[in-house]
Structure 1
Amino acid sequence: MNNLDKLVERLYSETDFARSIATSVAGIVGLVIYLVQRDWVIAAFSAVIVFPVVRLASARIHERRQRAEKRRMNREDAAENYSRLSEHEQAVVQAFVEAGGAVLTWSQVNALELRGPAIESLIHRELLGTSMTADGMRETFVLDPGLFEAGVARARSAPSNSSSKPTPLRGAA
């Protein structure tokens, strides 16, 4: 009875999601097969065969869900950080978005009409940093990737204020 108590305790104290699901499904499969076939050997073999397959599948599904939840939380945090920025700080973020990347050289930033205090504020908030280009020749500003993504999302959701007309199709009269 002591071994059975240890097995039951181990099953109920299990924290591995995939193993818990696999144990449950394998137990159900074994029980159903036993009730249908009335053969405990076939039921036991069925449970043993089903367990690793279900464990692998449930581990994969659980891992995907955890990654998706983490990405969702990161997006929400970045959107919240973006919404807390001042109008001028948001303008700095949008300048990076319009330039097409989270890294701009100092000369590119200097050419933009951005307020210096907004840039300094982002630096002190640790949302904007400095680095070097890959060739080591120029210094760059590096925007926090999550904040950049929040800026891209904001730019995509903003109504277009472009006054350009669509290009007519060739051959159309």
Structure 2
Amino acid sequence: MVEMVVEGVGTTLEGTGYVVTLREKGGHARFPIAVGFAEARAIKTALRRDPWPQPHDLILALLKNFDAVLTQVEIRTLAGGVCQAYLCIYWKGRWLEVGCRPSDGIALALRSGCPIMAAEDVLAKAGWVLSCIGSARPAPPADDESLALFREFINSLNLDEPDRPARP
């Protein structure tokens, strides 16, 4: 298992869906996970440490009241483009595992402070490594058409309300 941290939450290039990007802690591997609007919002509120209670806070309160501890979230499998995650819980001297969506596991991990782990084979299937880090080669100059497309993309971003996709 490889420890991951949340690098960011954003919209897909088409602006129709949301993606959470995990990054290897202390490394360069990245792992994107497609999520829905509600899941993206839950993760973003956890990243912002929003004090307003969310459903994930209720789950953590229940665990605490039962003297259970969420020790880590594990993203273990990837089949058919769908990841399966597990909550690893320590309760009264026993280890429990509860299957969950990766997005729910990530939201809980951010709120509880426990690590997010990903299986190495999942990273091998769905992750990527930024191999250009440290490269001394300069980028080739961009042509006017590429610059125009990039400017159009930048201007379409909704920076005032990042939870909401920009209007076309």
Is TM > 0.5 for Structure 1 vs Structure 2?
no
User: Greater CA radius of gyration, 1 or 2?
Assistant: 1
Larger fraction in strand: 2
Greater percentage in helix = 1
**TM-score normalized by structure 1?**
0.20
TM-score of the superposition, structure 2-length normalised? 0.20
Bigger relative contact order (CA 8 A; separation at least 6):
2
